[in-house]
Amino acid sequence: MDYKALAQETAQEVLDYSQDTSGWKVVKTSKKITVSSKASKKFHGNLYRVEGIIPESTAKLSDFLYKPENRVTWDKSLKVYNMVHRIDLDTIICHTITQSFAMGSISPRDFIDLVYFKRYEGNMDIISSNSVDFPAYPPSSSYVRGFNHACGYICSPLQENPAHSKLVMFIQTEMRGKLSPSIIEATMPSNLVSFILNAKDGIKALRSPVGRGYHHSSHASFLKKK
């Protein structure tokens, strides 16, 4: 499989989603975060768009969201998030195991995702992900293997305050297994709001003296190269 080509195609899909203004329905607003949805063209489920403001620069926010290190310390939806293969400086494959959701009615899933970072003009960054087959990590009997169709984060400077960032997230996750779509539709919007709130808390913690102890600029070089 040409992982790099797929990564670039996925980033373009995420960019296309951001430019598509038709058919979205707001399904939740909470704490200045808006979740909208529309029918996915990839599977029998929804494509979700989540929008919020993060009080951090775009470069630091993108670095924070891209890096596998410390992800489980702030993302409360995950049990495991590990890079299992590096393709190049801005393209990696990650193995993820989620927590259970909806008071245990949605059991943990695992995913193998191709994650890609790309910087565009105007300091806009896209971090895209798409599930792939990766022979070194076949599905196991321990977890239902889910599938993320083209997903991603778009980070851009807030026009009225460039020191802060607008974060727009697109998610279309096929949970698989024997799940009623109504359970997923009922729980997904709240989980997506929680993700943004967790990200806000996580990046805020990095600015504290304790947090700076584990934050390092391992991707500063690639951010400068873009």
Q: How far is CA 20 from the centre of its chain?
A: 19
Question: Does 61 score more than 50 pLDDT?
Answer: yes
Query: Cβ(212)–Cβ(204) under 8 Å?
Result: no
Q: What was the pLDDT predicted at 211?
A: 53
Report yes or no: 183 and 102 within 8 Å, Cβ to Cβ: yes
d(CA 8, CA 128): 9
Average pLDDT value for residue range 138-161: 96
For the record, the structure tokens of 188 come out as: 């997904």
What token pair was written down for 202? 């996580």
| Per-chain mean pLDDT for the chain | 90
pLDDT of residue 199: 95
- Region 103-128: what's the mean pLDDT? 93
Average pLDDT of the residues in 10-25: 97
For 31-150, strand residue ranges (E) read 33-39, 46-54, 78-88, 91-98, 109-120, 124-131, 144-145, 147-148
- Domain ranges (residues) in the chain: 3-18+25-206
Q: 162-212, pLDDT tens digit by residue? A: 999 999 999 999 999 887 788 888 899 999 999 999 999 999 988 776 554
Torsion of CA 219, 221, 55, 32, to 10 degrees: -60
Helix (H) and strand (E) counts in the chain = 5, 12
pLDDT tens per residue, range 71-111? 999 999 999 999 999 999 999 999 999 998 777 778 999 99
Q: Which amino acid is at 66?
A: Y
Confirm or reject CATH 3.30.530.20 for domain 3-18+25-206, answering yes or no: yes
Percent of the chain at pLDDT > 70 equals 92
Alpha-carbon span 59 to 1, nearest angstrom: 30
- Percentage of the chain lying above the pLDDT 90 cut: 79
Distance CA 185, CA 64 (A): 28
Q: Could you tell me the pTM of the whole model?
A: 0.90
pLDDT value at residue 210: 54
